[in-house]
Amino acid sequence: MTTMSDDKSLPRRRFLAAAGVAAATGASVSCSRAGKAYRFLTDAEAATLEAICAEIIPADEDPGAVEAGVVNFIDRQLVGHYQRLQQDYAEGLARLEQSANSKYGSNLAQLPSERRIEFLKGLEKERDPFFAMLVDHTMQGFYGSPRHGGNRNAVSWKMLGVPTPPVRGRRPVQNS
Amino acid sequence: MALKHVKAVVVGSGAGGGIVAKELAEAGLSVVLLERGHWVTPAECGKDDLRNQRTSVLGASFGPDDRSPRVVVDADGTERVIRPSQGGYHNNAGCVGGGTASYGAMAWRFMEQDFRLRSIYGAVKDSTLEDWPITYDDLEPHYEKAEWELGVSGDDTNNPFKAPRKKPLPMPPLPPNRDYEIMLPAAKRLGLHPFDIPMLRNSVPYAGRPQCMRCRWCVGFACEVNARNGTQNTVIPTALATGNCELRTNCMAKEILLTPQGRARGVAYFDEKDRLQEQTADIVIVCCAAIESARLLLNSRSKLFPDGLGNRYDWVGRNLQGHAYPGAQGVVPFDAYDDVGPGAGIAVCDYNHGNPGLVGGAMLANEFIRLPYQFVQQVPRTMPRWGLEHKAYVRKNFRRTLSIKGPVQEIPVFESRVQVDPKVKDYWGIPVARLSGFKHPHTMEVSKFMAARAEEWVKEAGATDITLSIPGAGLSGGQHQAGTCRMGNDPKTSVVDKYCRVHDVDNVYIADGSLHVTNGGFNPVLTIMALAYYASANIIRNWR
């Protein structure tokens, strides 16, 4: 049995624990992190996450994950639907930061982009489950509905030509 | 206080249960319709692309919620407890209307051959492949009733492979969207026989409901204008209007109550305030879809049925199947996407049967929906999964991708099954469904064949950089879940008789996809509906 707990595989024991004490756990973790700019993330964690998101979907002629507010999206879900992933995020971000520091002697946020990409490609090659989850959540925050706190100003939908606001059914039916 | 005894209690208000409740209520029988979920309104659904029936990363908006986990056993024996919104749960829905409140609404009649696979193709090694105990002709009038009572648009006159129909569809097809127009001449050049998919969707005003507004964010969402026809906006309101049917929402069935002699005397359920209630009835009709219906029977034990109601020969929960969905997508050098719904519109049935060396096959159709986050998952495996190149691919090809896929008729596997978990219980303390199994190797072979046919079609339409999607060998189920309470004449190798009544129990019926001996190379909902009308006729004949 694996001990990872991304959204696709949650071992039984963790689920039972999470189901039983989810509210209590969430509350206590959040309380110790009060007074920050984010709901769950500490400023340092947010900086790490932002550095990673910036490489998962970089800005080019269109805004990227950072500009679209993906960190805000993830933070919001961590006190919402992804509340059960709080510990994974806290531990995962700390682990990546530690690993980057021992490898490059620098925080991820201070690394040049090429080094960060190299670092993340290493994680991908190792099939790091936390990184795979970050990629997925970044895609959700960037390409998903702005209502969830990401995709600010519907930047990705504008990029793809998806009508926004998503009012559909403009075409009348022409049956004789 | 005891609840008032009724003639029939129907468990589950989806495609099957909604119709049974309406038929029985119209025939004058008193009916209680139990539904574990609630009415999901378009406002609640809110066209949320991360929280809907098909993309549920932020929740399964058509239910059930996290109170209803399941245990899934992987091929290597790993057991996982899965939430409804997670992949691998094999969710259908938990709301009034069941899956029909959010489905794509393809309204297929199975073909004549689909009821006689064993006779046509012979036995398949390591499979419980069998003929149905009824034929297409037995269901034909009931297919027609479903088409006209709920409302189906489309035009299958150009489909030479279809089973004969006595009456045309009640509504014409919707006009084609852009990818339909691209795929049509390509199909003709290949010598295929394309036609307009029958859909439970109004192309013109029908039965007091308006026509479709061509929204492309259709499948997985509630329809804002009530133009898509599920049981929640057709037969269930009709049932309630008779005055003979009471719908109780947020009611979770626990077990079928049995007399010492093994007959059903009603259903025990937890009501909306989690109070345990007993609804007694002369007849019980189980319509919870293949996984939950099997679970309910297995959780209904008595001296006579120590391993679950109807499970004397260990067939309840067996042969769980859905559809393997192979396909192909490719890129064209022009804008092929016009955001005009409902998406799928054109299909061919050239490959449903008669494929050399293969048992069965699949219908092929164009794609339903393209949500940006969904499209990201479909980026070819040869591309990076993130970074600049990935973003550029999504930007360039979101509107330039053609996709064809189809549901492969699966070869049933006895070991693919629903059990009840010995340890894990849901919020109400009811043992949860435990799913295990795999796809038959021949299903995988047919899938590869169908992906190659899909590839030919998108290639002929001008696509390059084609990616094939071949489903994995893991268990099937999901929205098309079927097979777990098979119909048959022999009680030793089936769960219900050809009248949809549980063998050895004269007052328990089943009316949902569980009954399917095989699941067709088609979306199964119209067959579930036809069977529900068929079962209702049998019930009324015996019990009015």
Rg (C-alpha) for chain A, rounded Å, is 18
Judge whether B532 and B19 are in contact, CB under 8 Å. Answer: yes
With a cut of 80, say whether residue A25 has pLDDT above it: no
Across the interface, do A166 and B47 touch by the CB < 8 Å criterion?
yes
Q: Contacts by A143-147 with C-beta closer than 8 Å and gap 24+?
A: A143/B372, A143/B373, A143/B375, A143/B376, A143/B394, A144/A73, A144/B49, A144/B50, A144/B372, A144/B373, A145/B48, A145/B49, A145/B50, A147/B46, A147/B48
What's the pLDDT score for residue B504? Answer: 86
Cis peptide before B342 (omega within 30 of 0): yes
Chain B residue with the nearest C-alpha to that of A53: B387
A154 CB contacts (<8 Å, ≥6 apart)? A146, A162, A164, A165
Residue segments in chain B with a per-residue pLDDT below the cut of 50: none
Single-letter amino acid code for the residue at B360: G
What's the pLDDT score for residue B201? Answer: 98
Residues in A touching B79 (Cβ below 8 Å): 1, 12
More confident residue, A106 or B381: A106
With a cut of 50, say whether residue A140 has pLDDT above it: yes
What's the pLDDT score for residue A19? Answer: 41
Which tens digits make up the pLDDT trace of B353-412?
A: 999 999 999 999 999 889 999 999 889 988 999 999 999 999 999 999 999 999 999 999
What's the pLDDT score for residue B448? Answer: 98
What's the pLDDT score for residue A16? Answer: 38
With a cut of 60, say whether residue A31 has pLDDT above it: no
What's the pLDDT score for residue A23? Answer: 39
Prediction ipTM score: 0.93
Q: Which residue has the tokens 């955001």?
A: B339
Q: Which of residues 19-78 of B touch A (CB under 8 A)?
A: 46-51, 57-59, 66, 69, 71, 78
Q: Is B211 an 8 Å CB contact of chain A?
A: yes
Distance CA B11, CA B514 (A): 14
Residues in B touching A7 (Cβ below 8 Å): 57, 86-87
Q: Which of residues 22-51 of A touch B (CB under 8 A)?
A: none
With a cut of 50, say whether residue A14 has pLDDT above it: no
What's the pLDDT score for residue A5? Answer: 36
How many residues does this entry show for chain B? 544
What's the pLDDT score for residue A44? Answer: 96
Residue A35 banded pLDDT, cuts 50, 70, 90: low
The SS3 of residue B155 is strand
Distance CA A110, CA A123 (A): 18
Distance CA B449, CA B58 (A): 35
Residues in A touching B424 (Cβ below 8 Å): 12, 16
Across the interface, do B81 and A15 touch by the CB < 8 Å criterion?
yes
Average pLDDT over residues A16-35: 44
What's the pLDDT score for residue A30? Answer: 45
Which tens digits make up the pLDDT trace of A60-91?
A: 999 999 999 999 999 999 999 999 999 999 99
With a cut of 90, say whether residue A37 has pLDDT above it: no
